[in-house]
Amino acid sequence: MKKRVFYIFLFVYTYSFAQNYAPIDTTDYLKRSELVKKYNEDFKLFKKSFKKLYKGDIRKEVEKSYTFLNTDFVKNIEKKRLVFNPIFSDYIQNLTNNIIKNNSDLSSDKLTIYVSRHNSPNAVSMGNGVILLNMGLFKYLENEAQLVSVITHEIAHLKLKHAENNIIYKAKLNTSKEKKQQSKEIKKQKFNQYDKAFEIMKDLLYTDSKRYRKQESEADSLGYVFFKKTKYPKIEFINALGILAKLDSLPEIQLKKETYKKVFHLPKQPFNEKWLTMEDFTSYNYDNYKDKIDKDSVKSHPEIIERIQKLKKIFSDIENNTSTTDNNKFLELQNIARKEDVANLNYLEKYGLSIYLTLYRLEKFPDNNYYKSWLGKNFDKLYEAKKKYQFNRYVDRLVPNEQDKSYQQFLSFLWNLNLNEIKNIADFYTKK
């Protein structure tokens, strides 16, 4: 039930993992090609519709925003970042049909819901009838009712046209006389241009934060109206919000140094202690690089606890818990989602994070060939990136004041490896 910002949660459940797990099939080129074609055709028609509504600079800004969304969505399809396997898509379609069946005012709405490979428990309403649900929702939510609550929340965003309204709002803001004058003032300044631009950006973020908070609250209320007409226990709507509140304090992964020595001690490449060498940052001054924005002040939704309290105040029946539902299918998909998170990070081209999570899993399941194969795939991608001098696109730089010790150690390890060493690791685990 978030919007716009997709976080990567690396918290991991400990669960049994079958050695013969078969990953989700992604050999659906024809289906993806057809969807890209259809989506591009729909976008052309959509573009004609808003061109009639707006003129001049505002129309240019609106078109730029929608073109970006369209391009990004098509890119996600082509890079297999959306899941079209029927086991997920049919399930989501059935849930959506049930919501519409119980809400007659949705019967004429065009709704298309896709599952993305992001591991965070988030969703986003893109406007024009499109909703993206992250696979991470299956990992962290407890049951089908809570998933339906997220879907109804996002449907409410669509009904309230929040995405469209935000694009228009920003288009008008970007073309305003005040904004143009601010840009001129920044260009005139010979010194401290960054600081001036930063202050303006911060003001805009804070303004947007207030706007988004209001929209999240509106989507909560309308979403609950849709939700309570279904068969599900009403209390699960706020239970889902409660789970998301807990996720703010998830523990981080802590890798043992012994893991590196065990996983990367290869027959043809013995482990090198120098790989674990870390730079000494104790005397470095980071004051100029500290985050200048209070992260809490630019969240795109109210504090979740406040949202729950507001819902309880508006809807006296929300804590009703009389209905029940069969969660067998949800739990099956939850199990799949938890097994796919390493693969998901790879498809999202977050190869460093995928390796980090894989190593954590190998601490618990040292003989698991599924994880070993992904280790090989990820190191193979890093080998290609290193050859092209693009390593930093896929592996974070060390930022000690923002990263815990375990992750710093991991990043130091990756950056200490040379090209041949990375290739040897890739080859060894690719053959597993």
Give the distance, in angstroms, between the CA of residue 213 and the centroid of all CA atoms in the same chain. 19
Structure tokens at 413: 């390890």
Nearest to residue 106, comparing CAs of 201, 14, 230? 230
| Cα–Cα distance for residue pair 195/376, rounded to 1 Å | 44
pTM > 0.95: no
What's the number of CA atoms in the CB half-sphere (13 Å) around residue 425? Answer: 29
- Sort 231 into a burial class: Cβ within 10 Å, 0-12 / 13-18 / 19+: exposed
124 SS3 class: strand
| Cα–Cα distance for residue pair 334/213, rounded to 1 Å | 29
Encode pLDDT of 337-346 as tens digits: 999 999 999 9
Mean pLDDT over all residues of the chain? 83
CA distances to 34, 230, 330 from 324, in Å: 39, 11, 14
Q: Give the alpha-carbon dihedral of 174, 180, 185, 186, to 10 degrees.
A: 40
- Sort 322 into a burial class: Cβ within 10 Å, 0-12 / 13-18 / 19+: exposed
266 SS3 class: strand
Structure tokens at 98: 């049930």
| Cα–Cα distance for residue pair 396/423, rounded to 1 Å | 19
| Cα–Cα distance for residue pair 339/342, rounded to 1 Å | 7
Long-range contacts of 117-120 (CB under 8 A, 24+ apart): 117/80, 117/81, 117/82, 117/83, 117/340, 117/343, 117/344, 117/347, 117/348, 118/6, 118/8, 118/81, 118/344, 118/348, 119/8, 119/9, 119/10, 119/341, 119/344, 119/345, 120/6, 120/7, 120/8, 120/9
Using 50, 70 and 90 to split pLDDT, how confident is the model at 284?
Answer: low
Structure tokens at 10: 């690396």
Neighbouring C-beta atoms of residue 182, cutoff 10 Å: 17
* Residue 286, pLDDT score: 47
Q: Is the pLDDT of residue 401 over 50?
A: yes
| Cα–Cα distance for residue pair 338/330, rounded to 1 Å | 12
| Cα–Cα distance for residue pair 16/37, rounded to 1 Å | 41
Q: Is the pLDDT of residue 290 over 60?
A: no
Contact between 416 and 275 under an 8 Å Cβ cutoff? The reply is yes
Encode pLDDT of 62-120 as tens digits: 888 888 888 888 988 888 999 988 999 999 999 999 999 999 999 988 899 999 999 98
Q: Is the pLDDT of residue 213 over 90?
A: no
Long-range contacts of 407-410 (CB under 8 A, 24+ apart): 407/252, 407/253, 407/356, 408/278, 409/255, 409/257, 409/276, 409/278, 410/255, 410/352, 410/355, 410/356, 410/359
Of 198-202, 228-232, 298-302, 321-325, give the lowest mean pLDDT range: 298-302
Contact between 249 and 162 under an 8 Å Cβ cutoff? The reply is no
Contact between 235 and 318 under an 8 Å Cβ cutoff? The reply is yes
Contact between 306 and 216 under an 8 Å Cβ cutoff? The reply is no
Which residues make beta-bridge pairs with 269?
A: 266
CA distances to 81, 237, 407 from 9, in Å: 17, 22, 14
Neighbouring C-beta atoms of residue 310, cutoff 10 Å: 14
Encode pLDDT of 217-241 as tens digits: 999 999 999 999 999 999 999 999 9
Contact between 1 and 150 under an 8 Å Cβ cutoff? The reply is yes
* Residue 13, pLDDT score: 42
Using 50, 70 and 90 to split pLDDT, how confident is the model at 367?
Answer: very high
| Cα–Cα distance for residue pair 399/195, rounded to 1 Å | 21
| Cα–Cα distance for residue pair 146/338, rounded to 1 Å | 17
* Residue 16, pLDDT score: 44
